[in-house]
């Protein structure tokens, strides 16, 4: 146990205090069991350690561990919880719980056996929390930590600090909001930097080429380890998934022909759909459907986007500008909790209420004439006018 406390103290000494991800103040930290999912590198570990540092009772009754620590070579999670609880422990924080075999059963036993013990854990975004061997659905409150919003990127980069805006505020007060921001910073240069190198917090320490290399390693680790451990995929499956991701990355946004993909890769249609769904859950892709269409588990998506714009640059030195715009828009609104589908007219329908065309500064929006609640999200402009809203401003939603 002493080695675990030393490990925690070393990490706490290097945990940043000033900048907190958007999710920190949204989580109900009073819940007995909390699960935090997210893409590798998004900041889940830092989020938990900041909770320890900010505890009003201090760190004495709190213990952070990572599930792949050597201590667990000869001990179990339940054994740790039992010992910790008997000696007055109040909050047990377990990082990357999916790396521990039988995690769901032991979490259930810990929850039921130690009613005064709070358990907080993180897991890969690919993990189906409720699909473990034990039923945790009535016990755990789950949150997803997405990558940095454009607003958070500016804050972390010491460029501009502000609170998030809701979508209606952005749409109806965008001229005033944009003016306030652009008076204080050169927003278009920052936006260009964010699209290429700004979705994950480790950008702050790395030059561009190293950052993109880390993004590629994040992709590989997510596929090779996270999907392998959470979905039970074999080495052969992993190779197939990488090939499929490569095909999609070459032409994203991708309108899939599942039958053609299946023939090309010599796989079944259901297998292709399973792989796509797994990559969507892992945060590598966004699967989008048409308006009015139900979303069954294995239903073919109507369009596929990369999970974020940084992934696009990791695969291609010069991604298509139109693809980047649409990927950014979808990524930021989805992370802010909005429902997005493909309409018959326009590019995106948001929350069944707002219709959007995405384009460059000269986008006319001719298709949207006389359509109520229709907007143009325009790139390469600092400020908009009427229903023409700067694309970058949709990065202030969380």
CA distance from start to end of the chain: 38
Reference 116, options 48, 184, 179, 33; nearest CA is 33
Residue 296 pLDDT > 70: no
Residue 227 pLDDT > 80: yes
- Same domain, yes or no, for 217 and 287? yes
What's the length of the chain?
Answer: 398
- Same domain, yes or no, for 260 and 289? yes
- Same domain, yes or no, for 81 and 170? no
Give residue 194's pLDDT band: very low, low, confident or very high (50, 70, 90).
Answer: very high
Give residue 134's pLDDT band: very low, low, confident or very high (50, 70, 90).
Answer: low
- Same domain, yes or no, for 171 and 132? no
From 103, 120, 145, the end of a domain falls on 145
- Supply the range of the domain harboring residue 93: 2-145
Q: What is the pLDDT of residue 228?
A: 82
Q: What percent of the chain has pLDDT over 70?
A: 97
Q: Show the tokens assigned to 189.
A: 């240069």
Give residue 133's pLDDT band: very low, low, confident or very high (50, 70, 90).
Answer: low
Residue 131 pLDDT > 80: no
- Same domain, yes or no, for 356 and 220? yes
Sheet of 62-66: strands edge to edge? 62-66, 91-95, 118-124, 33-38, 141-145
Distance CA 111, CA 253 (A): 43
From 92, 112, 145, the end of a domain falls on 145
Q: What value does the mean pLDDT take over residues 102-106?
A: 92
More confident residue, 167 or 40: 167
Q: 77-86 vs 103-113: helix axis angle to the nearest 10?
A: 20
Residue 137 pLDDT > 60: yes
Distance CA 301, CA 308 (A): 17
Phi, psi of 389 (to 5 degrees): -115, 135
- Same domain, yes or no, for 267 and 128? no
Tell the burial category of 219 from Cβ atoms under 10 Å away from its Cβ (0-12, 13-18, 19+). buried
- Same domain, yes or no, for 219 and 255? yes
Q: What value does the mean pLDDT take over residues 185-204?
A: 97
Q: Show the tokens assigned to 217.
A: 């390693």
Q: What is the pLDDT of residue 295?
A: 57
Are 63 and 170 a contacting pair, CB within 8 Å? no
Are 377 and 356 a contacting pair, CB within 8 Å? yes
Are 359 and 337 a contacting pair, CB within 8 Å? no
Contacting residues for 192 by C-beta, under 8 A, at least 6 apart: none
- Same domain, yes or no, for 94 and 232? no
**CATH number, residue 17:** 3.40.50.300
Count of structural domains, the chain? 2
- Same domain, yes or no, for 370 and 248? yes
Residue 167 pLDDT > 90: yes
Are 281 and 126 a contacting pair, CB within 8 Å? yes
- Same domain, yes or no, for 113 and 96? yes
Are 110 and 119 a contacting pair, CB within 8 Å? yes
DSSP notation for 65-107: EETTSGGGGS--HHHHHHHHHHTT--EEEEESGGGSTTHHHHH
From 124, 145, 166, the end of a domain falls on 145
Give the tens place of pLDDT for each residue, 346-363. Answer: 999 999 999 999 999 999
Distance CA 387, CA 58 (A): 50
Are 77 and 65 a contacting pair, CB within 8 Å? no
Residue 56 pLDDT > 80: no
- Same domain, yes or no, for 130 and 232? no
- Same domain, yes or no, for 297 and 176? yes
């Amino acid at each position: 146990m002493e080695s675990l406390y030393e490990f925690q103290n070393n990490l706490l000494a290097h945990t940043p205090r000033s900048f907190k991800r958007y999710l920190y103040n949204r989580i109900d930290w009073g819940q007995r069991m909390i699960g935090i999912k997210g893409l590798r590198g998004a900041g889940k570990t830092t989020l938990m350690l900041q909770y320890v540092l900010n505890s009003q009772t201090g760190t004495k009754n709190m213990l952070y561990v990572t599930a792949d620590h050597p201590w667990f070579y000869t001990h179990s999670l339940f054994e740790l919880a039992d010992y910790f609880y008997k000696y007055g422990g109040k909050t047990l924080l377990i990082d990357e719980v999916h790396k521990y075999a039988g995690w769901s059963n032991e979490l259930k036993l810990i929850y039921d056996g130690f009613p005064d013990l709070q358990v907080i854990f993180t897991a890969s975004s690919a993990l189906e929390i409720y699909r473990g061997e034990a039923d945790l659905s009535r016990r755990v409150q789950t949150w997803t930590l997405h990558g940095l919003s454009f607003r958070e990127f500016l804050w972390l980069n010491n460029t501009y600090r502000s609170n998030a805006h809701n979508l209606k505020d952005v749409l109806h007060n965008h001229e005033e909001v944009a003016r306030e921001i652009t008076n204080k910073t050169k927003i278009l240069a920052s936006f260009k930097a964010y699209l290429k190198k700004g979705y994950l917090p480790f950008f702050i320490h790395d030059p561009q080429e190293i950052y993109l290399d880390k993004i590629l390693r994040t992709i590989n680790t997510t596929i090779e380890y996270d999907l392998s451990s959470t979905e039970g995929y074999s080495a052969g499956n992993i190779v197939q998934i990488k090939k499929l991701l490569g095909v999609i990355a070459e032409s994203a946004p991708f309108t899939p022909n599942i039958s053609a993909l299946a023939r090309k890769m010599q796989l079944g249609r259901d297998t292709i759909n399973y792989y796509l769904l797994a990559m969507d859950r892992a945060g590598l892709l966004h699967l989008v459907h048409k308006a009015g269409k139900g979303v069954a588990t294995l239903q073919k998506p109507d369009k596929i986007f990369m999970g974020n714009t940084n992934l696009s640059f990791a695969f291609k030195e010069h991604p298509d500008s139109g693809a980047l715009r649409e990927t950014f828009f979808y990524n930021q609104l989805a992370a802010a909790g909005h429902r997005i589908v493909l309409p018959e007219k326009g590019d995106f329908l948001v929350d069944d209420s707002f219709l959007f065309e995405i384009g460059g500064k000269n986008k006319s929006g001719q298709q949207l004439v006389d359509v109520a609640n229709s907007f143009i999200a325009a790139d390469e402009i600092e400020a908009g006018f009427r229903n023409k809203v700067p694309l970058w401003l949709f990065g202030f939603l969380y």
